Amino acid sequence: MNPTVLDTPEALADFSNKTVATDELASLAKLNFNALSAKYAPTHRLVILMTTLLLMTLILIAHHQPWLALPTEVKVVFEVAQWVIGTIGLLAYLYNYFADPKKQYSLREQDISYQSGLVFNKTVCQPILRVQHVELKRGPIERKVGLASLQVFSAGGAMHTFEIPGLDYDNAENIRQYILSHKDLTQHG
């Protein structure tokens, strides 16, 4: 019922399109979820750590540079900024340490779902019929470690872009192909 793994092109060839829910109503409660790439969580934590450290270093340099004498007010602002950035960075690190493993996705014949959130858990389900286009987004770090984010656009607008982060590149490409070759898209799109 749920073609969960799509590692090989053969999976696409065996593609069936039984109508959902004639035998038993498919439910979001019964989704078979797949985990994101194992590389995602560590990379994400590293990025948060590096960003925080970089920002703090920049402020530290600006604070103690020898060329320009700063007014005391500015120095106070810098000090507060250090603390704020440090705290936010630490909290983000801790939060994602526990939240990242909760992120998971599920692919069914007719739709694709993504679940995330530690305290506020959210499952978004995107019917493939309503997809307008699909993109793979890869930043420099994602390219380095071989990850990709899958973005699925519907007519719901930019606020409701469906995105799955941290997929292995090959897997992301497979999912993209699966969506693009979906019968609904090729016929109704």
Q: Tell which positions 30-49 bind another protein, by CB under 8 A.
A: none
Nearest to 164 by CA among 75, 48, 68, 40: 40
Check residue 116 for interaction with another protein (CB under 8 A).
no
Sole binder of another protein in the list 13, 29, 68, 69 (CB under 8 A): 29
Of 90-98, 124-132, 141-149, 170-178, the segment contacting another protein by CB under 8 A is 124-132
**Looking only at residues 139 through 158 of this chain, which bind another protein when binding is defined by CB under 8 A?**
154-158
- State the minimum distance, in angstroms, from the CB of residue 180 to another protein: 17
Q: SS3 of 100, please?
A: helix
What is the DSSP secondary structure assignment for residue 167, as one 8-state letter? E
Using CB atoms within 10 Å of the CB of residue 142, give its burial: 0 to 12 exposed, 13 to 18 middle, 19+ buried: buried
The single-letter DSSP state of residue 128 is: G
> Within a 10 A sphere around the Cβ of 75, how many other Cβ atoms?
12
Among 49, 124, 145, 185, binds another protein (CB under 8 A): 124
Determine contact, residues 47/92, Cβ cutoff 8 Å: no
Which x/- pattern over 43-82 shows residues binding another protein (rule: CB under 8 A)? ----------------------------------------
Polymer length in residues for the chain: 189
Residues that bind another protein (CB under 8 A): 19-21, 25-29, 110-111, 119-127, 129-130, 154-160, 162, 184, 188
